[in-house]
Amino acid sequence: MITAWGKNAIVEIGDDVRISGCSITAEKHIKIGNRVMIGSGVLIMDTDAHPLDAEERQKNFAPKTAPVVIEDEVFIGTRAIILKGVRIGQGAVIAAGAVVTKDVPHGSIAAGNPAKILGTIPRIITN
C-alpha cells in the first residue's frame, strides 16, 4: 500500500525494486533507490502521523515530518519500521523487526529497537 497524505507528497521508487506487502506513507517525500528489496510487513513513514502532545492533537496541529531516503541496493527485512528523517545508505541491510530512527551508513547491518549498527557487509570478490 502506497499512500500520499500530503497535498504535494512525493513517493519516488527506482528501477528493479521488489516490494512484498508493505506500507509506504508520505506526507512530504520518500525516495527509494534502485534494486531495493523490501520485505513483507515493512512500514516506511516520513511523518509522525499525529502530534505527540495531546493538546496539539486536540487542536489538529500538523505532525512532524522529514524526508526518508533509501539508497540503491538496500535490503529491508520483514516487519522493519523506517521512521521519518532517516537515510539508509547504499547496500545496507536492515534486519527483520528493526525500528530505524537514525541514519544507517552505506554497507552497514542495522538491527534492534531502536536499530543499532551491528557491522558491515563484506564484499565478496570473485575472479
Q: Which residues are catalytic, by number?
A: 50
Whether omega for the bond prior to residue 114 falls within 30 degrees of 0, making it cis, is: yes
Using alpha carbons, select from 15, 121, 20, 123 the residue that is nearest to residue 79. 20
Using alpha carbons, select from 59, 70, 64 the residue that is nearest to residue 93. 70
